[in-house]
Structure formats: structure tokens, C-alpha cells
Structure 1
Amino acid sequence: MKRQLLVSSASLLALTVCPAIGAAEDKTPRIVNGTYASIEATPWQAFLTIGNRFQGFYSCGGIIISDNYVLTAAHCVDGFRADDIKVFAGFESQEYAGVGVSASAVTMHPAYEDIQFTADVALVKLASALPSTVKPIRLLSPTEQSEMDTEFNGAANQNLYVSGWGATSTNGDSSQYLRKTYLNGVRDLSCSWVNEFGYDQNLADAYVCANETFTTGICSGDSGGPLVWQNKNNAGDADMGYRAVGVVSFSSAGFGCGSPSAEDGFSQISTYYNWINQNMDGGYTEPTPTFTQDIFDQSVNYNPFDNPPIVPVYPGSNGGDDGDSGGATPPTGSSGGGGSFGWLAFLSMGLLTFRRRLS
């Protein structure tokens, strides 16, 4: 079975460098058959632009895990430097993404492997602060992993929440607005990726598997984004028990995005919890945010057009430039700059290609 990376490539320059679509090993991210998501309900969501004039430009999701760190997928940043990365947060529409902030460091997991996509996690350290409206989400600890596994072994449905700006169909365009969908957690013994050649405990530890009985899920451009589960034992806490349990990693290239015939693959955060702790300056401290919206209440139909657009304010920005020279910048001839709509739209509207590997 083939796996498909979920990074969004939209640089015209990158396309001239790649030998041919289909022959190239390329990247992409997105949400298939989802609905609009409120950034106020999903304040841990980040958007990353990665690239330079020589390697092309890509976009990925990210998870805000502290005031100055974002967790993303290793395949999003593989081969790039910190000054190739810019991080945006606190917005729903790419039109109002703002100037963003630069990265000061990027650390990939040393065991990252791009055939089976194990250890597909990376840390991005921020050079300056994100908007004050963003909130970090707590990571699922190894202790809590057993509680989630127990729930997955039962009959709980749509117990996972995933969000992003990725494409909305296998060959479709990325979404201008943040979107979400709900998936069913799949136990390790039932996940086809874990059992492809017989049960493999290493793969069971590496992945969280999830899908639905109808077409919905992740796709190109959602890579690096958050998979969230609620620990019901902590539902009464200020953070409502929300835990980041997975990082968007891959889907099936053979079946296409969001297919009920194959699970979506996420990097299991609890497996890499200690590595994250060891590679954050000062170590990882569990955040104590206050969340007020029930993201699993599907009776709430959010429409971003019902309210004025949410415009993030980046501390230290002057309204058009964040004052540093870091971060990915668009190729000459593209509209916009510094994270403005012109640049993000350029990333979103370009031709999306797919990366395929034999497992």
C-alpha cells in the first residue's frame, strides 16, 4: 500500500525545478468533506510557510504547544533551515493571516524515516511572540495514552478532531478558511498500516490511526496539524481535557484523501513526548489554558461569514513587517509579502503534487 505525504506545494519556481509531476517526490496538506472551524474554538492551530527561492515554497499546519514552540511534521521541514520558516496563527481566513513570526530554530526528530513515516515530528522555536489570542494545547502524556487506547478499543465514534487549511478533495484546491472534521480512533490491532506485513509494535507506537465510514479526513496541506482527543476524566478542567494526540502525517495514495478504505496516519505524540521535553529550552511544561467551546458538539454550525473577520495582531509588528529578515519569502513576481494574503493565496492556489512511497 502506498502512503501519501500531506504537504502543499504551490510554488511556480518549485515546479520548474521538479522533473515531472508524478515522478517528483513532492509534498502537500488539507481537510476533506469538513466544515468551517472557529479559531476561537481551535486557538492552538498554526499555519507554517516553508521554503526559499531555490527549493520552492510549501505550506503546513502546526500545533502551538507553548509560548515559543510549535510542533509540526518532520517531513514539512526536512531539508530546510529555520530562516526558511514562518509561522502564522490566530486567524481563520488566509486573507487575514497577518505578518507572521519567524523561526529561530528547527529540530527534527533524529529517527525520522521517510518510507514508513515514523518519528515524523519536528519542533519549531519562534523568534518572537504569536498573537495574544492563541493558546497552547496540552500534549498527551505516555500515561494518558493507555486511557485513549482503552477508548479506541471500545465503540466510541467521532472521538477525534482534526483541522487545517488543506485541500478539500484529492485533486482539489486548498481551503481559504480553516476547516475541521471528526474521525474515529482505530485501535492498533485493526489499523492496516500497523498490520500491513503482520502486527508491528514499532509502527503501533509510531502512529495514531483514524478514519470514518464515509469520505472525510486529511489531505494535501494539512501535514503537521493537530489531531485532538478529549480525556473525559478531565472534561471538567479549565482546558476541558483537550489533548493533542497526533501530528498529521500521511494518507493513502492509492485510495485518495479521506477514503474510508484506508486510515489516515498521525504521528503518536505520546511516543515522542520525552524527545519533545528534551529538545525544548527549559523542557516541556504542561500549559494551563482555559478553553470555553466544546469542539465535539456537532450541533454548533459555525459560519465565518456571519461575523467580521478575525485579524491577528503580532506583538512588535508595525502592520506590514515584523522587523526581521527571517522567514520564508515569496518568489519574485508573486503578490504580497511578509505573510500577507497575496503570499498565502499564492501558496494555496498553486498546483498540488503528491509524494508517494512504497511501504
Structure 2
Amino acid sequence: MQRVHLQGIAKNFGGTNVLEQIDLTIEAGEFLVLLGPSGCGKSTLLNIVAGLEEPTGGRIHFGERDVTDLEPDQRDIAMVFQSYALYPTMSVRQNIGFALKMRGLSKVEIAAKVAGVAKLLQIEHLLDRKPSQLSGGQQQRVAIGRALVREPQVFLLDEPLSNLDAKLRADMRVELKRLHERSRRTTLYVTHDQVEAMTLASRIVVMNKGRVQQCDRPEVVYAKPANRFVAGFVGAPTMNFLEGELALVDDGPALRLDHQILPLPGLRAGTGLQVGQRLVLGLRPEHLSLAPAGETGTCEAQVVMTEPTGPDTFVLARLAGREVTARMAPGVALSAGQTVGLHLNGAAASLFDTGEGVRLN
């Protein structure tokens, strides 16, 4: 296992800045996920770590070794791509052992290593099949096995599950997590799927426009997003945003929207904020709950529509002229146009400035 340190990594393509001053450390044995929208630079950063792209500026260290100018085969890494890139004429056994054969290992050594990886990935019964005889999930396991058998110091995965259907993706997420718990390889994983990021990562690096927006544990990124971009990108349905002025009602914190005041019981405004200051309130859908209309500490809203999903019911409601989404229990019976009371959980609220969208509390 190796610690990977990126210092001041920049990348330009034809005068366009794709990456700007990326400083990042992947601890030995960590599973770090690069998360962000298409075009944010996450795959380019992965390719720079792999040696497939040269940085315009900055240095890369694996442990104490500077690998910035080394070729990919000199970095002791293994990659799994979006496309499995298996050799169609070779069996699973041959695909997994091919890199070892190129290294000159004996047949006995290759057989032992292939058997060990096949057992780890539970594909022993597939070793004599060709890729065309495998399902998408099985092919992905073979691609992972081919990377693992080399026993790399750093394991790089670029959108490895994006070609699988929803059920297979869920199954493979579980398998990847188990695999990392057993192998403890230093892993850098690229995805635009926040569910993958939240379930797999030791830490998540949220990227946008070539910059790191936040790097922290999944639960921190979700509960305390560093800025409005992170808050809006992570979470489904997205966070509700309401712009207004910080106010006090009966000595309790509130948000003034035009001529309506929304109570925010439990809000921790933080230091430096003042009554009357304009800001953006962010609340996750699960932090809005039903309450009897007119009850103290609640605000009135009108139901626009409901979306039952099985485990949850999402309620789209109009609150002070803005639409918000609330996550409710399954079976909630509400009709369009109905007036309901909403309780806003101020203790879970995020506050952002109205300019750069930086977190204030």
C-alpha cells in the first residue's frame, strides 16, 4: 500500500484550464472517490495519477517516490476502465494471468495467483469461459481481477460500473466494498454517481470546473456541504434552497421571505451572522416534516403533487411562493392544493452566502 500525494496539479488543453492547483493526499489503504459532473476534470486527474496524461504543473508522489515523470508501467498501478477491455479470444484464466505472463512468472506462480484472485472475487467457476460467455457483472469482476492479480500499490478505477444495469450496479458496489475491506489497496475511484460515492468512499472529493470543492467523509459532505454547489450536487432529491433574511421570532431564529417568516427551531447560525443579513437557507428533503396546519413553530404550504417511490413519498409543496420537496413516510395521503403545516428542522439547516455560495454555519 502506498500513500499518494498530489501537489499543485494543473492541466491545460489548448489554453483551457481543466485542472487548477489540485492539492490532495490519498492515505495508504484509503478508498478515495472523485465525484463530480461530466467535464469537471476527475477522469483527467485519474489519468495524470496513472501516467496516461502529463500534468502542466505540479508533482505526484507515491510514498517518498516522485513518479511525475515516470511511465505508467513504472508506477506500480493497476487500472479498471469503464469498458472492460478483455481479450475476447482468451479464457478468463488467461485474461487474468496475462500481465503475469508478460512479467515472466512461472506457470505455477501464475496459476496460484490467478486462483487466489478468482477465489477473492468468487469467479472460480468462470475461469475456463470466454468473455462472450459472461454477463456484464462477471466481465467487470474479471477486469478487476486482472488488475488485482498484479498486486499494485495503487488501484485506479474510472467509472467501472457505469455500463451495468441498476441491480448489477448495486450488487457490484457491495462486492467492491468487500473487496477493499479484504485487500486494503490504496484506491482512487472516479464516478459521477453520488450513491457509489456515498457507499464506497472513505472520503469523497467533490470536484467542479477543475477545482476541489470539498474533501471529507461522506457523512460530512452530505450533512455539512462546504458550499452551495456541493449541497446541490450531493443528495437526491436535491437540497431545498430558500433565499431570505435572517430574523428572530419570539427570540427564536427564523428566515424572512418577502412578507412571510419561516421559524427555524434549533438553527445554529454560527458566529458573525446578524439579524437582517441576507443568505440562502439549505434544507434536505428529510428535514421538512408534516405538522398540523397552524401549529406553533410551523409554516403553511400548499401541496403541488406527491411522488410515491415505495420506501418514501416525496411531496412537492409551495412554501412562501417557492417550491420545496419533503421526504415523507410511505402511504402519506395528500392531494394537490391541500394546505399542510411544515416543520423545518433548523438544527440540520445549512446557511450559505448569496454571492459565492460559501457555507456560513
Task: Give the alignment's TM-score, normalised by structure 2.
Answer: 0.25
Task: Give the alignment's TM-score, normalised by structure 1.
Answer: 0.25
Answer 1 or 2: which has greater helix percent.
Answer: 2
Answer 1 or 2: which has greater strand percent.
Answer: 2
Name the structure, 1 or 2, with higher relative contact order (CA <8 Å, separation 6+).
1
Structure with larger Rg: 2
